[in-house]
Structure 1
Amino acid sequence: MNITLIGASGFIGSGLLKEALSRGHQVTALVTRPDRLAPHPQLRVLQADIADTPTLANLLRGHDAVISAFSGHAQPDVRGYYVKGMQSLIAAVKESGVPRLLVVGGAGSLDIAPGQQLLDSPDFPAEYRGTAEGNRDILTLLRADTHLDWTMLSPSASIHPGERTGQFRLGEDTLLVDASGTSHISLEDYAVAMLDELERPTHVRRRFTVGY
């Protein structure tokens, strides 16, 4: 497939890029710092500003899907920057005619009890709150959209570099935990789950999660 990857040089984006290239996909990486990505025969790297909707739409045209690993965690107003960027991306996807948008979600909006999300727990890390709140805002926006073909994949509470095992569980809106009560997934297996969804869509217009 011919896909666009937003944020390919970031932590999760780099894992998605590696998995996509290993599967033979043609990837157009839209980043702010093209020098951070090594050349690859299946990779085209372009500098882009996610807030520039018309230019972004032109760059997206002709692709089969967009995967967004965009985040605003390095910005002073993390939540505001993320929400505005994602609103611009959603508008650009619609304008470009790209048929599908896949979004890297967060664990904060996953349910941990009836009526309670992980983000609502008192020990939720303060440094991740802005990103989690922004991601929850966008999930609400996507769920209200009646036209866009979207999917969001939320990781477990902890996502970390590790092994590509291909052995994991999928869930819907509830945080997954293993037998010891730990909620975690490797970056490599998260990427497997996202690319599986790209190639064989099963969560169209839905959010899902992955964990051990």
Structure 2
Amino acid sequence: MNIALIGASGFVGSALLREALARGHRVTALVLNPQKLQAQPNLAAVKVDVLDEAALADKLRGHDVVLSAFSGHAQSDVLGYYLRGIRSIIAAVKKADVPRLLVVGGAGSLEVAPGVQLIDTPQFPAEWKATAEGARQALQMLREEAELDWTMLSPSALLEPGQRTGKFRLDDDRLVVGVNGESRISLEDYAVAMIDELEKPAHSRRRFTVGY
């Protein structure tokens, strides 16, 4: 499959890149700094500013799917930058006539009780609120989208490097919590779940989540 991966050099994006290449897909990595990516077979690194909608659409044309790991973590205005970026991505995907958009979501908008989202609980870390709020608003944008075939994958509360086991649980809008009371998923298994969805769509126009 011919994949356009936005944010391929980032924390989540780099894991998605490794998994996609390992499965034999062709990946166009759309990044601000292509020099950060090591040359590999089936990988083309292309410089683009996500906020430049017209330029982004031009780079997306001809791909089978767009996979967005875009984030605003490094920006001073995390929320504002992220929302401008996700709006640009949605518009560019439509302009480029790419049939599918897969988006890296956040755990904050997952329910921990009926009608209660993780981001709105007292224990949610303040330093991650802007990022989580951006992902929550992005999900709402997608749910209001009438044209795109989209999917968002939210991780568990704890997403960190670990092992690629290929063994995990999926759910829709509920935070996945293990028998030990922890909500976690390795970066590697998150990537497995996302590329599984890319290869065999099971959550069209829906959000889902993954955890142990």
Q: TM exceeds 0.5?
A: yes
Residue pair 1:159, 1:187 contacting (<8 A) in 2 also: yes
Structure 1 equivalent of residue 49 of structure 2: 49
Residue pair 1:73, 1:130 contacting (<8 A) in 2 also: no
Structure 1 equivalent of residue 134 of structure 2: 134
Deviation at 1:33, TM superposition (A): 1.1
Q: Under a length normalisation based on structure 2, what TM-score does the superposition of the two structures give? A: 0.99
Q: Deviations over 1:43-78 (max 9, x none)?
A: 000111001001100100000000000000111111
Residue pair 1:169, 1:211 contacting (<8 A) in 2 also: yes
In the alignment, the residues of structure 2 paired with residue 17 and residue 100 of structure 1 have an alpha-carbon distance, to the nearest angstrom, of 17
Alignment-mate amino acid for residue 35 of structure 1: Q
Structure 1 equivalent of residue 97 of structure 2: 97
SS in 1 for 2:62: coil
Alignment-mate amino acid for residue 160 of structure 1: E
Deviation at 1:140, TM superposition (A): 0.5
Deviation at 1:115, TM superposition (A): 1.4
Are residues 1:149 and 2:149 paired?
yes
Are residues 1:31 and 2:26 paired?
no
Q: Under a length normalisation based on structure 1, what TM-score does the superposition of the two structures give? A: 0.99
Alignment-mate amino acid for residue 183 of structure 1: S
Runs of 4+ with >6 A deviation: none
| Root mean square deviation of aligned Cα | 0.5
Alignment-mate amino acid for residue 168 of structure 2: F
Deviation at 1:3, TM superposition (A): 0.4
Deviation at 1:35, TM superposition (A): 1.1
Residue pair 1:101, 1:149 contacting (<8 A) in 2 also: yes
How many residue pairs are counted as aligned between the two chains? 212
Structure 1 equivalent of residue 62 of structure 2: 62
Percent of paired sites with the same residue:
65
In the alignment, the residues of structure 1 paired with residue 32 and residue 84 of structure 2 have an alpha-carbon distance, to the nearest angstrom, of 16
Are residues 1:195 and 2:171 paired?
no
Structure 2 unaligned regions, length at least 5: none
Structure 1 unaligned regions, length at least 5: none
Residue pair 1:99, 1:149 contacting (<8 A) in 2 also: yes
Deviation at 1:131, TM superposition (A): 0.6
